[in-house]
Amino acid sequence: MCVAMTDFLAKAYPVLAANLPKAAFASLPTPVSATQFELATGQYTVQVKHDDQSHPVYGGNKIRKLEYIFQRAVDRNAKRVATFGSVGSNHALATAIIAKQLGLGCTCFLTHQKRTPNIAATLNMHVELGTEIVRYGGSVNRLEVCRRYLQNRHVWVIPLGGSCWLGAVGFVNAGLELGAQIDAGEAQLPERIYIANGTMGSSAGLSLGLALAGLPTEVHAVRVASNPFVTPVALQRLMQKTVVLLNRLDKSFPADLVERTRLRWRDDFFAGGYATVDDATRHAVEVAHEKLGLALETTYTGKAMAAMLHDMQADDYDAGSYLFWNTYNSRPLAVAADRPASPQNIPAEFMRYFD
């Protein structure tokens, strides 16, 4: 049996589906693969959930969140969306790509970050899309900037990382999707799932979705962000808010779902900061490439992979089934990383990332 549905949440809760529609542009369900590989400490098998293939143009975990968020923007007659992120933000780029496909304008408020290899190509892709890029953060007067670019423009504002209760719903559906794949024999029941934990929406929604599917799987949310609002308490609040609002839309949705979740917050592979890299992260990216055929990066997925590899080689590892949730886009961008002939819509301060 092959799982072909894309909206398991709607199937399970039709009243909720009627009250909470989504724009179905994601390529779902994303596949699950299993690979056996050898390390110095022994032979291991790991499953991978390929959310890197969640969209034909640009994959990654943001696509699931944006299905619900963009539908809300369209329902509110927005002419433009706006969001926030760092200069190399996968979320900001995914938002710009989907906005272009849906015929909406897109404004991205971007801040500086530590240099990573993907930033130049990301900026060039924004040029191709015609994204309105606005320098944000630092000494910039944020209130003044927001007034200038948001007032009287029919803008729907999307939070950092797409992480709000509405975005988390996309990963509630993802948890049910994995449950259906397990039932269909397309995946084994994992004892643990490892996922990069940035703005927390993916971890929150996935934990709820797995609990809703009745799976005993423990989610290891590997912290990668240095935002002061990214805390275990905030994650619990996001889960609780998501459940409260889903229950409000459909009274049959379980109000006690948060209590059923199995979630472990992991700070031990943070490496000291956002986009900061250590030896464990570099090694994990290398192993993922050589042994699993995955192209990861060092800001998000490399840290989640480092946590999983560490645990698999620990003395207390019991050969349980582990699954790595790949949240990083694997679709090639249709641009080069070369410095553009002219800045066009790239703020002058961001041209440094081409040097």
**Residue range 152-164: mean pLDDT, rounded:** 96
- Alpha-carbon distance 352 to 112, whole Å? 10
- Alpha-carbon distance 251 to 244, whole Å? 10
Q: Quick check: bond before 216 cis, omega within 30?
A: no
Q: Which residues pair with 344 in a beta bridge?
A: none
**Residue range 252-273: mean pLDDT, rounded:** 97
Q: Are the C-beta atoms of residues 127 and 345 closer than 8 Å to each other?
A: yes
Q: pLDDT tens, 160-197?
A: 999 999 999 999 999 999 999 999 999 999 999 999 99
Q: Tell whether the model's pLDDT for residue 6 goes beyond 80.
A: no
Place of tokens 């699950």: 32
Confidence (pTM) = 0.96
Q: What is the largest CA-CA distance in the chain?
A: 61
Amino acid at 249: L
Q: Are the C-beta atoms of residues 307 and 220 closer than 8 Å to each other?
A: yes
Q: pLDDT tens, 275-314?
A: 899 999 999 999 999 999 999 999 999 999 999 999 999 9
What's the confidence (pLDDT) of residue 1? 39
Q: pLDDT tens, 105-152?
A: 999 999 999 999 999 999 999 999 999 999 998 889 999 999 999 999
Collapsing DSSP states into helix, strand and coil, what is residue 295?
A: coil
Q: Are the C-beta atoms of residues 65 and 201 closer than 8 Å to each other?
A: yes
Considering the four listed CATH numbers 3.40.50.1100, 3.90.920.10, 3.40.50.20, 3.50.50.60, the one that applies to the domain covering 8-61+163-326 is 3.40.50.1100
The mean of the pLDDT values for the chain is 96
What's the confidence (pLDDT) of residue 5? 59
CATH class, 62-162 region: alpha beta
In this structure, what token pair is assigned to residue 248?
């409000």
pLDDT confidence band for 227 (50 / 70 / 90): confident
**In the chain, where does the domain assigned CATH 3.40.50.1100 lie?**
8-61+163-326, 62-162
Q: pLDDT tens, 52-98?
A: 999 999 999 999 999 999 999 999 999 999 999 999 999 999 999 99
